[in-house]
Structure formats: structure tokens, C-alpha cells
Amino acid sequence: MSRLTLGDLLDLEVRFHAEREEDRDARRARYRGLGRQAGEGGPESLLAGLARSAGGTTVGRTFESALGWLHVLLAAAGVLAGGGLALGLLDNRGPHPVNVLDALGLLVGVQLALLLALAVALVPRRRSSWAPSPGFLQALLRRVLRLFMREAEAKDLLWNLALRRQANQELERWVLVRATQIFGVAFNLAALACCLYRILFSDVAFGWSTTLQCGPAQVQHLVDLLAAPWCWLYPAGSPSLRVVEWTQYSHLEGRYLLHAAGERSAAASAVSEWWPFLVLSLLVYGLIPRALLLAAASFQIRRRLRGAPADNEEFRRVADWMSRPLVDCATEGGAEGAPAPAAGPVGDAPDLAPAGTRCPVVTAEAVPIDREILGGLVARKFGWRLAEGAAAEGPILVVLPAWEEPIRMYQRQIRSIREGAGAERLIVVALVDKSPAGAWTAPSEKTRLRWARHLHEALRDPRLRVESLGAAP
């Protein structure tokens, strides 16, 4: 089965954006013909074949190629950074031994801090402002689009993709995580290789020193803590207290504290016991976590791409057109067919509350509308006033972006609101659109009916109503 790629996803977005003004029935008939030519296959396979049917160089293929070159550059930068740092830290040609605390701090400590920051960033939260900025991906996409489209068309498409960003935010995040972990894996591989090179081909002497009031017992405690993951299996990978005491070094005096001036150590074996600990620390706290994160990011990207036909309403609709028969409901010799489903009934809508009602409001993250502007739009549309908290007993107004589809994320949000509000309270889904000039406008009636039909079928909520909100476009 053909799988969707990031390039396929972008090519489909470009294709559907170019067809947005075409007649729906004409598009459906064309895609049904393409589906019959493609033969049997699931939605993902059909969409992947559709994306690749153009052949030649496309926006998506060029973007994938540019992203691949970015990965190559990140890997090369990681090799240079990791290898150069390791060779510099383990350079034993000076008058002093290698400070193992320097090597641990720069090769392991910094990576642990970065991994902790990444773990905090990956924890799901209610708001998504914490997510890594996809600015460099957007800049890369902008450059690729300008190679294939006029400036105005590229700007228009970027605007629409930005409005749809909420649906693809998780995919963007994992693309960023994958790129950073490519750098991390290359950094750690190069650092390990250069550490082993220094150890195998030169007699690296290790010591430790610090300006802090920290003795061998405290350093031994830190060593035991870091070596906990492997010391039960490989005890020699953790220096003993005797070795820690023997390798305490004073830069002021130029000697190991337990020996005469100018002496490196009582025995070479005592000094060299540090290198297995350093290598294992770099392996356990550097390479392995980065490799696991790289694998997890690649898995999540594949998972999001596999779910695109179900999560993206436009993709799902086109896949249905390609796989299902085209049924003509017109009578023989008749000129008109059955009405389009989008304009069909969506169930009896509950009555609205009277003017002057105070209503709490819930606004989707994708709709950064000012509360004062929202209050004016609500007053003109319904005659209601916005409540400052959820204590008001009026209908709950849920403001959602009309430029997106009624995907499961918004359905879960409405279900959650219903669970907290009770079965009898009215919930009004207010759809807003946004023009390129930044004005909040009302969506078309066709869009409102599509949302109403999907939410009615998915939620079966008799106390749910869908309305358009905003100035006339």
C-alpha cells in the first residue's frame, strides 16, 4: 500500500487550493474517474496515488528534497560539533590532565538539560503557544512555493495553510523534533567515536577539580548516581572511591593532591578507570535517548500522515469520491438531480435565548479574536452580552474557525463542554472566518450547513445549534 509523505500532503493541499472555485459536482465526477483508473485501495493509497499522478517536479517533492538537505546539513553540523568538542576536551598534550567534570558537563550535562526542556515542551497542554516555532519550516515552504507559483498565489496559499495550521500542528511539531534529533544523534556518534579515538591512540590521563567546596565523597556520590543504569551489569564502569581520591587534581599546585608535585598518578590504571564511565555516560545519556526520540518522531510523523485522510475533511471527501460510485438521482430525461447533501436538513435547531441574555464564551485557540470585537459581533448577531465567567446561566457560545473542518478535536471539545453544562443547556457553535486583511467575517451558508450536518451526525445533541458570526464578507 502506498503511504502518504509530507510531499504528498503538500501537493494535495496545493491541488485542492487551486480547485477551490470549481463546481463541486464537476470535481466529484472527475475524481470518481481518477478513482476508477487507480483501482482498489484504501483512502491513504488513493490519495498518495493522486498526489504522485502529476509526475515531474512538484511543490511537495521540492519541499521534501529541501527538507532532506536540511537533515544532511544538521547531521554534518552535529558531526563537526560533537567530534570537535570531544577531541578538544580529551586533548592531553598540555601540562594538566583532562578534567573529567568538564567532559561530563559539556558532553552529558548540557544534553540532559536540553532533553529535559524538550520533555517539558512535549507534554500536552491546553494552549499551544509553548510549542516550538515552525518559523524555519514556513520560511523553507515559502521559498519553495515561490519557485512554482506567482507571489500573489503563494501568499494566498500560505495564508490558507496558516489558517489550517491547527489541524497539522502535531505533525509540524514532530517534524521539528525529528530534525533536532538528527543533529543530536550525529553529535553523539561523532563524540563517541572521537572519545574512543583519543583513548585508543593516546594515553589520556583523567583527573577532576573544582573551585567549589566539594570533596571526593560528594564526587563519588554523583558518579554512583550517574552510573546507576549500568553499574549493576558492569561494575567496572563506575570509578571507586579510591580512584576518585587519587585523581583529585589541583591546578594551583600542578599535581594530584595525594602525590608529589609533577606526578600524574601512583598508577596509570587508577587514572584510566575514568574512561569507561565517560563513554558509558555519553552512550546512556546522550546517544540512546536521542536515537529513541528520533525513532519516536519518525513513528509519530508516519502516524499523523496515515491519519490525514480521516482527520482532514477535504482529504476524506476526495477519497470518498474516488472510491464510491457516482449515483445520479435524476429521473430519466429530467434536467435536475436530487439536492446536494450540504444543503439538506440538519435536524430541528433549538430556539435561541432572548436579547439581553448573558452568555459565557469559549474560543478555540485558532481564533485569536479580541474580546471587545467578539462582544460587538455577538451583540449584533444575537443581542446577547458576554459573561465574564462560566457562572452565567445563558447559552454557552463556542467560537470555532470556519476555515477548518469539523474534525474530531472540535467534536471532543463540544462533548467536554456538554458534560460540564448538563443535558438541557443550549450550546451555540459560532463559526467565524477571517479575511486576508484581518477582518473577522461570517462564513458562507454552505459552510455553516456543512458544519451543522457533521456535528449533528457525530454528536446527536438536540441542544446544539450552529450559527455564522462576523461581519458580512
Q: Report pLDDT digits (tens) over 44-61.
A: 888 888 888 877 788 888
213-219 CB contacts, 8 Å cutoff, 24+ apart: 216/241, 216/244, 216/245, 216/248, 217/241, 219/101, 219/244, 219/248
- Flag whether 425 is in a domain: yes
Do 278 and 199 fall within a single domain? yes
- Which of 282, 308, 328 corresponds to the end of one domain? 328
Q: Are residues 309 and 450 in the same domain?
A: no
Choose the weakest-confidence range: 41-55, 160-174, 192-206, 255-269. Answer: 255-269
If you average pLDDT over residues 154-164, what whole number do you get?
65
Residue 384 lies in a domain: yes
Cell numbers standing for residue 8: 504528498
Asked whether residue 473 is assigned to any structural domain, the reply reads: no
Nearest 5°: phi and psi at 299? -65, -45
Residue 370 sits in the same domain as residue 243: no
**From the DSSP assignment, how many helices (H) and strands (E) are in the chain?**
19, 11
What's the confidence (pLDDT) of residue 435? 76
What is the predicted pLDDT for the residue at 187?
96
Residue that has been written with the C-alpha cell 568538542 in this structure: 85
**pLDDT tens track for 311-368:** 777 788 888 888 876 554 444 444 443 334 443 445 567 889 898 899 899 988 778 8
Cα distance between residue 423 and residue 464, in whole Å: 10
pLDDT of residue 243: 85
Whether 259 maps to a domain, the answer reads: yes
- Label residue 165 by pLDDT band (50, 70, 90): low
| Together in a domain, 14 and 80 | yes
Least confident stretch, 24-33, 66-75, 275-284: 24-33
Answer yes or no: do 321 and 392 share one domain. Answer: no
Of the chain, the percentage scoring pLDDT greater than 70 comes to 83
The three grid cell numbers given for residue 175, joined into one nine-digit string: 517534524
Where is mean pLDDT largest: 71-85, 108-122, 141-155, 405-419?
71-85
Pair (273, 156) in one structural domain: yes
Instruction: Please say which residue of 276, 306, 328 terminates a domain.
Output: 328
Q: What Å distances lie between residue 470 and 387, 405, 446, CA to CA?
A: 19, 18, 15
Residue 150 and residue 22 in one domain: yes
Residue 411, all three cell numbers? 467534536
| 108 and 48 within one domain | yes
Average pLDDT, the chain: 80
pTM of this structure = 0.68
- Cβ atoms 48, 2 nearer than 8 A: yes
Of the two residues 12 and 81, the one the predictor is more confident about is: 81
Cα torsion at 430, 434, 440, 443 (round to 10°)?
-50
pLDDT at 168 over 80: no
Provide the domain count of the chain. 2
Mean pLDDT of 404-411: 79
Three cell numbers at 434? 477571517
Please enumerate in sequence order all residues whose Cβ is within 8 A of that of 167, keeping only pairs 6 or more positions apart, or say none: 311, 312, 404, 405, 407, 409
Q: Are residues 324 and 387 in the same domain?
A: no
- Looking at the structure, tell me whether residues 119 and 52 fall in a common domain: yes
Does residue 344 form part of some domain?
no
Residues 198 and 154 in one domain: yes
Mean pLDDT within 238-256: 82
With cut-offs at 50, 70 and 90, classify the pLDDT of residue 392.
low
Classify residue 454: in a domain, yes or no: yes
Where in the sequence is the domain holding 140, given as residue range(s)? 1-328
Shared domain check, 383 and 241: no
pLDDT on residue 329: 47
Please indicate, yes or no, if residue 351 is contained in any of the structural domains: no
Q: Is residue 343 part of a domain?
A: no
